[in-house]
Amino acid sequence: MPAENKSVTPRQIGLKDVHVAIIESDGSSGTVYKTPVKISRAITAKITPSVNNETLYSDDGVEDELTAFAGCEVEIEQNALTLEHRALILGKKYSNGELVENSGDKPPKLALLFRSEKSSSTKANPVYRYCVLYKGAFSEIEDEYETKGEKPNSKTTKIKGKFYDRESDGNWRMMLDTDAEGVDNTKITNFFTSVQEPGSNQ
């Protein structure tokens, strides 16, 4: 009887270093991003892709199945969001501690970046999965306040958005495991200094 394979794929056990990078341009010549900016401390992140399906019938049977990527919904919960970062991701004006919101504000197109620690990680050898969503925008943020009672009840901030494929190449996400064979360590080092593209930089 063959020996049982007890190897277990490491789980994702963490979330940190949420960044955004404003898109300057996106077209046939490529996508240009500004330098990523870290926004507050992350608590949770939920990414929900959506696909449209259509079944084609002919001769009393299924001829083909058509699928099309329809973007993904993103929800991130953070400990708090500064007014400056709120202005950044929602396209608002911020100066000298003042956030001004206008009916004509338009959220900028941006990339979303973060990393998640794996269960196989150690202090001596940290292991992460890096993720970048290449293009999307966040929507207006709901604010909730509550009077202070005997027991403190702090509030977190949730930001929601829609992300989709970029015009330059159709890519919408890239994930990178630091423990994968042949991984490009240059991308890991530079992941939060510039938006990394698929393919080897070596």
Structure confidence at residue 152 (pLDDT): 80
Q: What is the mean pLDDT of the chain?
A: 90
Task: Give the tens place of pLDDT for each residue, 145-178.
Answer: 888 888 888 889 999 999 999 999 999 999 999 9
Residue 169's nearest CA partner among 14, 33, 5, 29 is 29
Residues whose CB is less than 8 angstroms from the CB of residue 177 and which lie 6 or more positions away in sequence, other chains included? 118, 127, 128, 129, 130, 183
Distance CA 180, CA 151 (A): 46
In sequence order, which residues have a C-beta less than 8 Å from that of residue 52 and are 6 or more positions away? 67, 68, 70
Using CA atoms, how far apart are residues 107 and 109, in angstroms rounded to an integer? Answer: 7
Torsion over CA of 100, 101, 106 and 108, rounded to 10 degrees? 50
Q: Which of 197, 194, 196, 191 is nearest to 17 (CA)?
A: 191
Contact (Cβ atoms closer than 8 angstroms) between residue 136 and residue 161: yes
Q: CB neighbours (10 Å) of residue 13?
A: 11
Residue 95 is inside which H or E element, if any?
Answer: strand 93-95
Q: What's the pLDDT score for residue 202?
A: 46
For the full predicted model, state whether its pTM sits above 0.85. yes
* pLDDT reading at 61 higher than 80: no
DSSP 3-state percent helix, strand, coil across the chain (nearest 5): 5, 45, 50
How many Å from the N-terminal Cα to the C-terminal Cα in the chain?
A: 44
Kind of pairing, strands 30-33 and 37-38? unpaired
Instruction: State mean pLDDT over 110-134.
Output: 93
